[in-house]
Chains A and B, each alone.
Chain A
Amino acid sequence: MDEVTIGTWAWFWLVFFIVGTLGIGFYAMTKTKTDEDFAVARKSYGPYILILALASTIASGSTFMGIPGLAYDKGFPALWYPAIYPIGIYIGLILSVRLIKRAGDNFRSNSLPEFLGQRFDSDFLRVGFALLSLLLIYYVTAQVVAAATAFEVMLGVDYRLGVIVTVIVIGIYITIGGSHADILTDAFQGGLMLLIAILITVLFFLGTGTEGGGAAGINEAIAAQDASITWDNYFSPGDPIFGSLWLVILMFIAHLPFAMNPHIGNKAFALKDSAQLRKFLILAIPIGSILGFAVLGGLHARAVIGPELRPDAAIPALFVELFPPALAGFLGIAILSAIISTADGLFVSIAVIFSNDLYRKTFSKKIHPNKSQKEIEKTALNISRVATVITVFAAMWLAWNPPDFLAVLLWIGVGGIMSGAAGPLVIGSIWRRSTKAGAISSFLVGVISYAAMWLVIGWQNPFGAAGVCVLLASAVMVVVSLFTKPMPEEKLNEIFSPVRK
């Protein structure tokens, strides 16, 4: 009898994963004891389940493929990334999330664009940030590309068939309704991802598959291929991303407003109270850091397999190389988990942009002036469904031809959003003196300069481009605010320390 191949096992685990996830989802939907459990699942879960659900939203296809792909290609200097990004993201989160949550509660904001409009009394900022947030489609596309690449490497299927399968799986997944299903499937996937990130880290320090063993063994194997990317090299001279300390600092700056991406920042709105917020912030740091260790898998793959792979395929290929087919296929499922749970959150965020920020808050007053509040909310609900379907097909279209680097694709969208958000959202959250003129100028400068970096200058470092634009937009925010009329004290009190009249 022929030996069972990795492809066969991967198909087996894929079916297991889909059936398992859908099974948990449908079980949760139909067997919940009370209607309250279905609607809001309030009292059912302890903090650990919720933390795992949070982990699955933080981790994406980039965590297990894009960033390890950079490390695979650029060697040890790429370790700056996992060292820097959790610190940058969580400093930004801590700086602004409290105010956004508090003011969001007060203003009854449903989304970050809505909050921004209320913070500065500006329809332009709300609509502008909502439209800019549509760049999240690149984030979704990156997830589809990641899943299709995993299918290609592990299942041996054509990349484009992988794109179609991914879109179908995501399509089914997002129809699972009910809070139990949401939390349980996210927690199931988050748990898998944390385990895999820990496993990748342990394997790296054991140096499994290398001659010398240990991290030193990995370093020696990489040195034999290319001495310029070993651990003696802190930077890769000439590299657009890891070429110098200056570029690494830009990477850090670029990540400060990362939490302002709508699908992450929105988590603050979902929290019950300030006590949960504290726990959320404290636990997000170690979880984010552990997931960041997945980058070590890229170095490990380079040492064990050599330089011939497509970089984004490093971790799937490493699994195939190191593990028996059954286990390798199972590990691939963790990647799929990361991708699907993130895509799920992104679809919801994009749907909210259309239904809430653009329709309910902006255009409904003009196009449906005679509709009741209830009718408008029903229309908004339908708009969000249509938006989800359109997003699925748009992501499929964009993913049809695979890009060179997944992380770069993802950052086309993320960098643009962060460049626009740095001034109004981050500085506007912590600095009372910020003005409407400052926020609008900063938003425009951030977005236009980021577009110029890509389209005119053609700088191939998305982190660097975002870092420069974030700095520029922040400077504009401060300077223009100082030279324009402060916002009324009454309005500022409404935001920073609101009191009923």
Chain B
Amino acid sequence: MAQTAVLAELTDKQIQFGIKSAYPFRRFLQRYEKSGQITIWYPWYYVSVSVKMDTYLKKGMVYNDLVAVDCLRPVKERVSSYPVSSAQSIADGKILTSKIDETGAKEEAVDLIKGIVLSRNKLLKDYEIQAQACKLFYLKTFVVELKNRPRNEWIYIDEHFEAASKLQLRPEVLSYIQN
């Protein structure tokens, strides 16, 4: 069952930072101004992964890892914990629909951890990596509308993953708010 992440509202400081990040070369007086904002609920799968591995120095190691898999882009991030969740209403914004299922998310999560384990253990002898639980979260993100600018130049701010960019670089969000 999907859950929502508890995140604070967007502050003016975050908006300014987002505009500066997306338009780093615009001078102070020419910097764009906010004219509105849209709330977007963005889906991520959180997949817990179990790792068993032997190296030539230490055998029988077992640990669990956690990977967040973006449901609309082929992006995955290793994360340290699940988002703090609640039964918060998501009626106040637009909800993006996931384009992958649990199986796909698990495969990608395993792939990411496999790459890390292989690259960081020079004396690796054997390993087994398996996906365990998979949970869908809707993270609250924002589109900041800019005064007198076309939609594709608006700013998308994902505070949870500390990302800010022009909407033209986030076509999955742009196409959704155009509809």
- Which one, B53, B64, B75, B169, contacts A105 given CB within 8 A? B75
Q: A497 touching B61 by the CB < 8 A rule? A: no
Any A CB within 8 A of the CB of B162: yes
Any B CB within 8 A of the CB of A366: no
Any A CB within 8 A of the CB of B100: yes
Q: B169 touching A496 by the CB < 8 A rule? A: yes
The residue on A at minimum CB distance from B104 is A500
Chain B contacts for A391, CB-based, 8 A: none
Any A CB within 8 A of the CB of B11: no
Comparing A173-181, A200-208, A215-223, the segment that makes contact with chain B is A173-181
Q: B57 touching A497 by the CB < 8 A rule? A: no
What is the CA–CA distance of A273 and B71 in the complex, to the nearest angstrom?
17
Max count, chain A CB within 10 A of own CB: residue among B100, B122, B170: B122
Max count, chain B CB within 10 A of own CB: residue among A35, A39, A175, A179: A39
Q: Which residues of A163-179 are within 8 A (CB) of B?
A: 174-179
A46 to chain B, nearest CB (A): 14
Any B CB within 8 A of the CB of A182: yes
- Which one, A36, A106, A278, A348, contacts B65 given CB within 8 A? A36
- Which one, B63, B74, B76, B100, contacts A34 given CB within 8 A? B63
Any A CB within 8 A of the CB of B14: no
Any A CB within 8 A of the CB of B115: yes
Q: B76 touching A270 by the CB < 8 A rule? A: no
Q: If A29-B57, A177-B56, A500-B74 touch, does A273 touch B161 (CB 8 Å cutoff)?
A: yes
Chain B contacts for A484, CB-based, 8 A: none
Q: If A175-B122, A177-B55 touch, does A110 touch B74 (CB 8 Å cutoff)?
A: no
- Which one, B99, B100, B122, contacts A174 given CB within 8 A? B122
Any B CB within 8 A of the CB of A381: yes
- Which one, A34, A108, A178, contacts B57 given CB within 8 A? A178
Q: B57 touching A106 by the CB < 8 A rule? A: no
Q: Which residues of B62-92 are within 8 A (CB) of A?
A: 62-65, 71-78, 80
Any B CB within 8 A of the CB of A274: yes
- Which one, B63, B120, B161, contacts A274 given CB within 8 A? B161
The residue on A at minimum CB distance from B55 is A177
The residue on A at minimum CB distance from B168 is A497
Bitwise interface map of A from 28 to 63 toward B, beta carbon under 8 Å scored 1, else 0: 011000111011111100000000000000000000
Chain B contacts for A501, CB-based, 8 A: 99
- Which one, A35, A40, A497, contacts B62 given CB within 8 A? A35
Q: A499 touching B73 by the CB < 8 A rule? A: yes
Q: B99 touching A272 by the CB < 8 A rule? A: no
Chain A contacts for B168, CB-based, 8 A: 497
Q: How many residues of B contact A (CB 8 A)?
A: 41
Q: A39 touching B73 by the CB < 8 A rule? A: no
- Which one, B72, B119, B162, contacts A499 given CB within 8 A? B72
Q: If A29-B57, A500-B73 touch, does A42 touch B80 (CB 8 Å cutoff)?
A: yes
What is the CA–CA distance of A175 and B124 in the complex, to the nearest angstrom?
11
Q: If A34-B63, A110-B115, A270-B119 touch, does A39 touch B57 (CB 8 Å cutoff)?
A: no
Any B CB within 8 A of the CB of A456: no
A360 to chain B, nearest CB (A): 11
Q: B124 touching A381 by the CB < 8 A rule? A: yes
Chain A contacts for B74, CB-based, 8 A: 105-106, 498, 500
Q: A39 touching B77 by the CB < 8 A rule? A: no
Bitwise interface map of A from 102 to 134 toward B, beta carbon under 8 Å scored 1, else 0: 100110101000000000000000000000000
Q: A39 touching B169 by the CB < 8 A rule? A: no
Any B CB within 8 A of the CB of A225: no
Q: A493 touching B171 by the CB < 8 A rule? A: yes
- Which one, B61, B76, B99, B162, contacts A39 given CB within 8 A? B61
Q: Which residues of B89-130 are within 8 A (CB) of A?
A: 99-100, 111, 115-124
9 contacts across the A-B interface (CB closer than 8 A): A35-B51, A42-B65, A102-B75, A105-B75, A106-B73, A108-B111, A381-B118, A498-B74, A499-B72
Name 12 extra pairs, CB < 8 A, besides A102-B75, A274-B161, A381-B118. Answer: A34-B63, A38-B58, A39-B53, A39-B61, A105-B76, A108-B111, A178-B55, A182-B120, A270-B119, A272-B78, A348-B122, A498-B75
- Counting from the closest, the 10 A-B pairs by CB-CB distance are A35-B61, A36-B63, A275-B162, A177-B123, A500-B99, A35-B63, A106-B74, A499-B172, A497-B169, A179-B120
B interface residues, Cβ below 8 angstroms from A: 51, 53, 55-58, 61-65, 71-78, 80, 99-100, 111, 115-124, 161-163, 168-172
